[in-house]
Structure 1
Amino acid sequence: MTAITLTTFLALLDTTIVATAIPRITSHFHSLPDVGWYGSAYLITNCSLQPLSGKLYTYFSSKYVFLSFFFLFEFGSLLCGTAVSSDMLIVGRAVAGMGSAGLMNGAITILTHSVPIEKRPVYLGFMISTAQLALAVGPLIGGALTQYASWRWCFYINLPCGFLVSLLLLSITIPERLHPTALTLTPLQRIQHLDLLGFFLFAPTAIQFLLALEWGGTTYPWSSSHIIGLFVGSFFNFLLFLYREYRAGDEAMIPLSLVRNTVVWTCCCTNFLFMAGMLTLSYYLPIYFQGVRGVQPTMSGVYTLPGILSQMLFAIISGFAGYYLPFSIVGGCFAAIGYGLISTYTSSTPASKWIGYQILGGIGRGLSMQMVIIAIQNNLTGTKIVIAQTLVIFFQYLGGALCLTFASTIFAAKLKSGLRVYAPTVDPQLVIEAGATAYRNVIPKDQVMNVVTAYNLAINHCFYLAAGLAAGVMLFVWGMGWKKIGGKSDGKNVKAGQEGGGAEA
C-alpha cells in the first residue's frame, strides 16, 4: 500500500509541480510559447498509452508491468532534470508521460486485487486522497524548489523517491488476477491479445489532433496546410480506429460494449471535464500571482494554499459518504462557482476575495474528484473494472492534455491582442520571449502596468475556460447512479463483469 500510494503521489505530483516553475523555466529558456507543451507533452503521451496499459494489466503480471512503467517515468524525470534546452525538457516530459500512463491504473488494479471488496472504499479513498494531495501541493513544492534550489529539482525529486518505491515493490508479492485465458497463453500469444493494431491507430489520432491545437494560431495559421492536414489525418485515423475496435469486439483495446455502459461513459465525461478545469487552473493561477502580482515562485505557491487546504479537508469528509452521487453534484457546483469567481481576479484583488474564491474551488475538488473511481468500483466486477478504470483515467488525462493546449492557445492569442490595445508601443514578441517573471525587466518602466493589464486579461480568459469545464460536469454526473458505497451491483452490471472474464471467481 505504501509503495503504490507513493507512486501515484509522484505521478500526479508531476502534473502540477512544474506549474509554479513554468515562469522561471520560460525565463531560463526564453520559451513562453512552449508553456502549453510542458504540461501537454506529459499528458499527450500519457493519453496515447493509457488504453494499452489496461490490456497489459489484464494479460501480464501486475507487479512487473507496474515496475516497467515506473522505470520509464523515472528516466523521463532524469531527462527533464538534465535538460539543456526547452526541446529536451519537452522530450523528457513526453517520456515521463509514457511511464506515468500505467501508474494510476496499475495502482488501483493492484489495490483491487489485494484488498477484499468490503474494505476497498477505505483503502481506495486513502490512496486517491493522497494522490489528490499531490495535485494540490505540487505548485507549493514546485515554488519552493524553484526559488531556493532550482527548477530542475522539480524533476530530480522523483529519483530518490523512485529508488525507495522500487525496493518496496521488488520485496513484496502482489496477488495476480489475470484474464482467465492468459494463464494458458505464451508471452507471444498474450501480446497478440493486446490489440496493438488498435493502439497504433489510436496513438497518431491523439498526437495529430493535439499537435494541430498546439500549433494552430501560434506556429502556423489555423488556415495553413499544416494545421488542416493534421486535423484531417487525425479524423481519418479516428475513423479507422473506431472500425478496428468494432471488429475486435471484446478483444478491443477499448471495447465499444463497455463504452456504452451508462455509468462508464458518464464517469469518463465527468472526469474529463473536472480534470481539464482543475489543471487549467493549476497552471495559470501561479502565472497570475507571479506575472500579474509580481510575487516570487514560493509565495505564489503559498498563495494557492487556501485551495489546497480546503481540498484536503473536504476530500477526507467525502470519504465518509454513504452515497457518491450527492457529493459529485455538490462538488461540481462549488468548483464551477469558485472558478468563475477566480476569473474576476485583477492586480488589485483584495486577499479576502482571492483566498475565499480559491476555498470554494477547493471544496468542489475535494468533494467530487474521487467519486468517479468509486462509482466504477461499485457498479462493475471482474476484468471489466480494469478496462473501465483505464477508460476513466484516460479521459482524465485527455481532458488535461486537450484543455492545457486550448488554454495555451487562448493565453497566447489574448496576450497578443491585449498588448496591441493596452501597450501598442511594446513589442509582443519581446514580452512573450522574456517569460512571466522577466518581462518587467525588458520593457520601459512606464509600460509595466499596461503590460500587466494585458497579462491579467489573458490569464482571466484561461480561468473562464476552467469555469466552463467545471460547469459542464453537471451535464454528465447524473448518470453515475444512486448507489451506496460498497453496496451490491445490480444484475446488469454483475453480468457485464462476469462476461468480462469473471476474475473475481
Structure 2
Amino acid sequence: MSQQQVETAAENPPAGVEGADPTPRSPREIRLVMIGLVVAMLLAMLDNLIVGTAMPTIVGDLHGAEHLSWVVTAYTLATAASTPIWGKLGDLYGRKGSFLTSIVIFLVGSALSGLSQSMTQLIAFRAIQGLGAGGLMVGVMSIMGALVAPRDRAKYQGMFAAVMALATVGGPLAGGFITDHFSWHWIFYINLPLGLVALAVIVVTLKLPKVRSTAKIDYLGAVLLTVGITSLVLITTWGGQQYAWGSKEILGLAALAAASLIGFCYVEQRVEEPMLPLALFKKRNFSMVSIIGFIVGFSMFGAVTFLPLYQQTVQGASATNSGLLLMPMMFGMLVVSLVVGQAVSKTGKYRIYPMIGTTVMAGGCLLLSTLGVGSSSFTSACFMVVLGAGMGFLMQITMLVAQNSVELKDMGVASSTATLFRTIGGSFGVALFGALFNDRVTATMKAAGGSGAVKGSGQLGPAQLRKLDPAVQDAYHHAVSNGIHTVFLWGAVISLVAVAAAVFLREIPLRGGPGQQAEAQLEGI
C-alpha cells in the first residue's frame, strides 16, 4: 500500500464501519468504560473455575454423578462455538448492542443455574451461560479495539492479564468459600450484582457510532463452523477418557469435524459476508499470531492442569489451596504483561516481545520438565515464574497484533478468532498432555510392579495414595514425576513452533502512533 493510498484511506474511512473514524477518547472516559469491561471479563473467566471446587457438593445435592463432566463441558462447548459468531455480529450490527446482549444472556444463564433442581437442568442452563460468556470475551477485546488505537491499547490490556491471574487463583478459592459458608447456588447468584454493574457502566459510559448493515448473516457458515468446533472440543474432552482414541465415537467426531471445516472453508469463499473471512489468513502477522495464540493456550492450560497434580501428589501440598499453587506463574505473567504493555505504548515496537516470549515459554517448559521427586516447592515456583513470564510477553501482544493486522470493520472477527485459537489450543493441550501423562504414569508403575495397586493411576488422589504401602507410594511419586517430565518436555518441543512463528512476524507500525494516523487499511500484511 503506497503512502498516498494510506493517506486517502485515513481521510476517507469506510462508511458505516463502527470505529472507522473514532472520536478521540479522554483517559477518564476510557477508564470508566474499562470498569465495565474488566468486570465482564472477570465474570467470563471466573465462572468456569469457580464451579470446580463446588462440584462435589452439587453432585451430592442434585445426584447424577455420571453427568458430572457435562457441567463444565456444556459451558466450554457453548463458549467456544459461539465465540466467532459473536465477533461477526458485533462487526455487522454494532459492538455495544451485541456485548450488552451477551451480558444479559450470561446473567439469565447464571440465575437459572442457581435455581437448578436437577443435573439435567444445570447442564442446560450452563450452556446458556456459555453462550453469553463467548460474547463477553470477544466483546471486551473488540470494544477496546474500537475505543483505543493499538499504540495506546497495550497499556490498558495489562489489566486483562491481571483479571486472568485473579480468576485463575481466586476462582477455586472463592468457589470453596462460598460453598462452605453459604450455598453452592451462590456461586451462580454472585454473578448477578457484578453483571448488573457491568451492564450499567457500559450502557452509561460507552458511546460508539450506530451501525447499519444490510448484509445477510452467513447462517450456513455459522452452522458448519459450530459443528466443526463442537466436534473438536468433544474429541479433546472425551478422547482417552470416556472413549478410547481409536474408538468409533472419536473417529466419527474427527470425520465430522473434518467434513464440517472443509465445508465451512468452501462456503466462506462464496458468500457475500463470510462468518470468518479466510482472506485474513493471507496476512502474515494474523496467521502467525493465531499459531502463537494456539500454542500459548496449549501450554498454559496444560500447566494449569498438571502442575497442581504434581505439587499435591509429590510435594504434599494441600488440595484446599490448589489455586494458590499457581500464584508464581500468574505473578510472572502479570508483571511482565504490564511492563510490556507500557513499553509498547511508549515505543510502538512489538515484534521483539513475541520472539522473547516464545523463547522464554519454551525455556520454562524445559525447566519444569526437570522436576523430580526431590524437587522443592521453591524450585518449582521459580520454574513457574519463568513459564508465566514467557506467557506475559504473549498474552496481550498476540491480541494486539491480530487486531492491528485487520481493517477496523473486521475488529470483532479478529478478536474472536484470536480468542478461539487460544481456546482450542487449551483443549488440545489438556487432551494431549493428559494422554501423555497417563501413559507415562501407567508405564512407570508397570515397570515398578505396582500397576495393580494403582489402576487408573493418572486419577489417583492424595487421600487414596496415603492408604497404599509406602513402597507403592514412592513408586507412584516417581511415576507422576516421570509424567510431568514427559508433559513439559513435549511442551517445550511444541513451543518451538511458536518461536518459529514469532520470527516470521513483521514490524507493522501500530495505528495511533506518531505519523500513523493513516494506517486505517492494512491490506496484505
* Fold similarity call, TM over 0.5: yes
- Could you state the TM-score of these two structures normalised by the residue count of structure 1? 0.82
The answer to whether the aligner puts 1:468 opposite 2:493 as a matched pair is yes
Mapped contact 1:218–1:412 kept (Cα < 8 A): no
Relative distance call for 1:85 and 1:334 in structure 2 (3 A) is farther
Equivalent residues in 2 for 1:357-372 (5 A)?
A: 357-372=383-398
Relative distance call for 1:112 and 1:225 in structure 2 (3 A) is closer
Equivalent residues in 2 for 1:345-384 (5 A)?
A: 345-384=371-410
Distance 2:261 2:139 in 1: 26
Relative distance call for 1:482 and 1:25 in structure 2 (3 A) is farther
Distance 2:316 2:54 in 1: 14
Structure 2 runs not aligned, ≥5 long: 1-32
Distance 1:311 1:91 in 2: 34
Secondary structure at the residue paired with 1:221? coil
Cα drift, residue 79 of structure 1: 6.4
Equivalence for 2:15: none
Relative distance call for 1:43 and 1:277 in structure 2 (3 A) is farther
Relative distance call for 1:205 and 1:16 in structure 2 (3 A) is same
The answer to whether the aligner puts 1:310 opposite 2:335 as a matched pair is no
The answer to whether the aligner puts 1:137 opposite 2:166 as a matched pair is yes
Equivalence for 1:501: none
Equivalence for 2:247: 224
The answer to whether the aligner puts 1:424 opposite 2:451 as a matched pair is yes
Mapped contact 1:49–1:101 kept (Cα < 8 A): yes
Amino acid at match of 1:176: P
Mapped contact 2:229–2:257 kept (Cα < 8 A): yes
Alignment deviations for residues 207-233 of structure 1 (CA, whole Å, 9 cap, x no partner): 223323433333333333222222222
Mapped contact 1:311–1:365 kept (Cα < 8 A): yes
Amino acid at match of 2:482: L
Secondary structure at the residue paired with 1:304? helix
Equivalence for 1:11: 44
Cα drift, residue 62 of structure 1: 2.3
Equivalence for 1:450: 475
Cα drift, residue 372 of structure 1: 1.7
Amino acid at match of 1:356: C
Equivalence for 2:155: 125
- Could you state the TM-score of these two structures normalised by the residue count of structure 2? 0.79
Relative distance call for 1:481 and 1:238 in structure 2 (3 A) is same
Alignment deviations for residues 436-458 of structure 1 (CA, whole Å, 9 cap, x no partner): 34323554565333333333333
> Which range moves more in the overlay, 232-241 or 5-14?
5-14
Cα drift, residue 288 of structure 1: 2.0
Equivalent residues in 2 for 1:168-179 (5 A)?
A: 168-176=201-209, 178=211
Secondary structure at the residue paired with 2:240? coil
Secondary structure at the residue paired with 1:424? coil
Amino acid at match of 1:294: G
Amino acid at match of 2:167: G
Cα drift, residue 357 of structure 1: 0.7
Equivalence for 1:199: 222
Cα drift, residue 83 of structure 1: 7.3
Amino acid at match of 1:383: K
> Which range moves more in the overlay, 234-243 or 452-461?
452-461
Cα drift, residue 496 of structure 1: 3.7
Could you tell me which of 241, 265, 270 is aligned with 1:247?
270
Distance 1:49 1:449 in 2: 46
Cα drift, residue 282 of structure 1: 1.6
Mapped contact 2:145–2:411 kept (Cα < 8 A): no
Distance 1:495 1:339 in 2: 35
Relative distance call for 1:336 and 1:307 in structure 2 (3 A) is same
Distance 1:233 1:60 in 2: 31
Amino acid at match of 2:427: A
Distance 1:392 1:58 in 2: 15
Q: Indicate the RMSD between aligned Cα atoms, in angstroms.
A: 3.5
Distance 1:412 1:30 in 2: 26
Relative distance call for 1:482 and 1:390 in structure 2 (3 A) is same
Mapped contact 2:302–2:426 kept (Cα < 8 A): yes
Relative distance call for 1:387 and 1:149 in structure 2 (3 A) is closer
State the identity as a percent. 22
Amino acid at match of 1:424: S
Mapped contact 1:12–1:131 kept (Cα < 8 A): no
Q: How many residues align?
A: 478
Distance 1:32 1:289 in 2: 28
Alignment deviations for residues 94-153 of structure 1 (CA, whole Å, 9 cap, x no partner): 4433222122221222233334x3xx5434532x32222232233421343355443846
